[in-house]
Amino acid sequence: MIGRLGVFGIVLATAALVRAEVPPRQMALTIDDLPSQEVARADESALAARNARIIAALKGTHAVGFVNEDKLEVDGRVATHRVQWLRDWLAAGIELGNHTYNHNGLHQTPIEAYERSILDGERVLRPLMAEFDRAPRWFRHPYLHAGQDDAVRARLDAFLAEHGYRVAPVTVDNGEWIYARAYALLLDAGKRREARALIPGYVDYMEAKCQFFEQASKRLFGREIPQVLLFHANALNADALPTLLERLRKRGYAFVDLDTALADPAYRHADAYRGRAGISWLHRWAITEKKPKAFYEGEPAVPQHVLDLAGVEGE
Ligand SMILES: [Zn+2]
């Protein structure tokens, strides 16, 4: 007969075993295109409900949401009910950041207009955050376009510093936007069941992406650094986030704030990448170190049937 202590001992041993299999990991969650990537294709009540579900899933995760203020407008005017959606984020203890006013990419926009779009992107955000004794301090480049030459990069760095911003990099870059487009199109067509059927594959795909960038981190730094995951405020994540976050927790991830993740010295690595594409910072650092082609091989791809459903040619 096993006494009470004996059972306790077995439970402890089992817990230790599980811990040994799953290494402790850290991840900062970042969610872009608030209040919603899909303001143009859903009615206000659906958007409000999705916003509430995303907030509920992210509460307590130390996530940061990145806002495009043009998405607060209805018929050219800032809609107070949409501002309230953002206030709900802050009230839930989730920080907000600046993702420019209109989501124009730096590589298609003159730097003067880009800087204006950053300032236009905090007209609502700055006073709103002041209600919570906070100020916007994170900046996320639309399309992760971070500048194609040294002059623009230096000017933007100085501008962001002057206005109290720090760049929020991404390490787990991914094709979530393609799943989201497929999901939205199926919802538009009234095919809710088919849309929901995409979620298990989406979660598997996102986990595979995490695994890929964990390996990239090991190859570059000899260890796993805290990752920064990017996804968007959309119908897909309103429905899939609880499952996705549960999967990541099972993978050993503790969700930390951006300050904690970026305190890792890896994030001070030089970034000489000046290419056009919006890629993972792990790859920017690898390019800076002139890693061979093999370094980038094996990245999980969005399956063809999802590309087809989304009407997207390729990633
Ligand atoms: Zn975006």
Whether residue 239 has pLDDT greater than 70: yes
98 DSSP β-pair partners: 67, 139
Distance 142 CA to ligand 1 centre (A): 5
Distance 34 CA to ligand 1 centre (A): 9
Q: Is 307 left (phi over 0), alpha (psi -120 to 50) or beta?
A: alpha
Tell me the mean pLDDT in the region 263-268: 98
**CA of residue 8 to ligand 1 center, whole Å:** 49
The count of domains in the chain is: 2
Q: Is the pLDDT at 139 greater than 70, yes or no?
A: yes
Contacts of 250 (CB under 8 A, 6+ apart): 22
Distance from the Cα of residue 110 to its chain's centroid: 25
Q: What is the pTM of this model?
A: 0.93
Instruction: Answer yes or no: do 151 and 218 share one domain.
Output: no
Cα of 288 vs centre of ligand 1, distance in Å, is 25
By residue range, what is the domain housing residue 61? 30-168
pLDDT class for 22, splitting at 50, 70, 90? Answer: confident
What pLDDT, on a 0 to 100 scale, did the predictor assign at position 16? Answer: 53
**End residue of a domain, out of 168, 201, 217:** 168
pLDDT for position 2: 46
Flag whether pLDDT at 160 surpasses 90. Answer: yes
Residue 12 pLDDT greater than 60, yes or no: no
Q: How many CB atoms lie within 10 A of CB 35?
A: 27
Q: What band does 15 get if pLDDT is binned at 50, 70 and 90?
A: low
Domain end marker among 129, 144, 168: 168
Assess whether 48 and 180 both reside in one domain.
no
Q: Which of 150, 168, 186 is the last residue of a domain?
A: 168
pLDDT > 90 in the chain, percent: 91
* Mean pLDDT across 212-217: 98
Residue 21 belongs to some domain of the structure? no
197 plus 281 within the same structural domain: yes
pLDDT band at 314 (very low <50, low <70, confident <90, very high): confident
How many angstroms separate the alpha carbon of residue 226 from the centre of ligand 1?
A: 22
Predicted confidence at residue 67, as pLDDT, reads 98
Mean pLDDT of 167-196: 98
Give the separation between CA 109 and CA 103, rounded to whole angstroms. 10
Whether residues 213 and 198 share a domain: the answer is yes
The answer to whether residue 22 is domain-embedded is no
pLDDT score of 315: 85
Measured in angstroms, how far is the CA atom of residue 33 from the centroid of ligand 1? 5
The reply to whether 188 and 284 lie within a common domain is yes
Q: Residue 96 — left, alpha, or beta (φ > 0 → left; ψ -120 to 50 → alpha)?
A: beta
Cα(103) to centroid(ligand 1), Å: 6
Mean pLDDT of the chain: 94
pLDDT score of 5 more than 90: no
**pLDDT at site 13:** 52
Q: Are residues 176 and 73 in the same domain?
A: no
Would you list the DSSP string of 32-99? EEES-TTTTSS-HHHHHHHHHHHHHHHTTTT-EEEE-GGGGEETTEE-HHHHHHHHHHHHTT-EEEE-
More confident residue, 42 or 30: 30
pLDDT in tens, 38-80: 999 889 999 999 999 999 999 999 999 999 999 999 999 999 9
The alpha carbon of 167 and the centre of ligand 1 are apart by a number of angstroms equal to 14
Q: Which of 112-116, 205-209, 224-228, 310-314 has the lowest mean pLDDT?
A: 310-314
| Domain shared by 187 and 310, yes or no | yes
Kindly give the distance from the C-alpha atom of residue 141 to the centroid of ligand 1, in angstroms, as a whole number: 7
